[in-house]
Amino acid sequence: MLQTFLNVTDVAYRLLRVVSVVVIACYFALVVLQVFFRYVLNESLFWSEEIVRYGMVWGVMLGSAIVARERAHIRIEVIENFLPPLAKRGLQFVANLLSFAFCVILCWTGIDFVDRTWFQNSASLGVPMRAVYLAIPIGAGLEAWFTAAAWLRGEDSETVTNEAIV
């Protein structure tokens, strides 16, 4: 059962990386297109800035989950480096627990936020804002999932980060 959970997590992680690259590539292409239209054709694509902004929200939330899977979030290790191994593991456990709790709380409040803005539309394009705000609970939920999977694998941030660099 545990192995199935971890295998599903790996598949979701690979799929998420593909989706995140597509999102980033799309808003990069839109920015280049907007610059071309504005400075070459003297026209403006009124809709591109809004789409890029919403794409960035999705990119940040999905990217945060990817970084959580890779155990590569920014952290300050000054105190951790001076601790003996047992205390270091305890500090890492507390930090991981707080990160997981934050993700769960963010997911929960994100769901509430989406519920409160369900019928709201964007100003320029009329895009349902729920499509934008859904990035918050989805990204936070994925980050909590990937954090839990890393715990179950017994991965610490040093091991995964060093493997990702190589």
Residue 133: CB partners within 8 Å, gap ≥ 6?
110, 113, 114, 117
* Per-residue pLDDT tens digits for 151-162: 888 766 555 544
Which residues fall within 8 angstroms of residue 122, CB to CB, at 6 or more apart? Answer: 50, 54, 128, 129, 132
pLDDT of residue 19: 93
Indicate the pLDDT class of residue 165, thresholds 50, 70 and 90. Answer: very low
Q: CA angle, 69 as apex, 63 and 72 as ends, to 5°?
A: 75
pLDDT for the residue 158: 56
Summarised one tens digit per residue, pLDDT across range 10-48 is 999 999 999 999 999 998 999 999 999 999 998 888 888
pTM over 0.85: no
Q: Is 128 helix (H, G, I), strand (E, B) or coil?
A: strand
> Do residues 115 and 155 touch, judged by C-beta distance below 8 A?
no
How far apart CA 152 and CA 96 sit, in angstroms, is 12
Whole-number Å distance between alpha carbons of 146 and 100: 9
Residue 166 has pLDDT above 50, yes or no: no
Whether 58 and 136 have beta carbons less than 8 Å apart is answered as no
Range of the domain at 139: 2-165
- Residue 157: what pLDDT? 56
What is the structure's pLDDT at 16? Answer: 94
Q: Is there a contact between 164 and 157 (Cβ–Cβ < 8 Å)? A: no
Closest CA to 53 of 82, 22, 31: 31
- The count of structural domains within the chain is 1
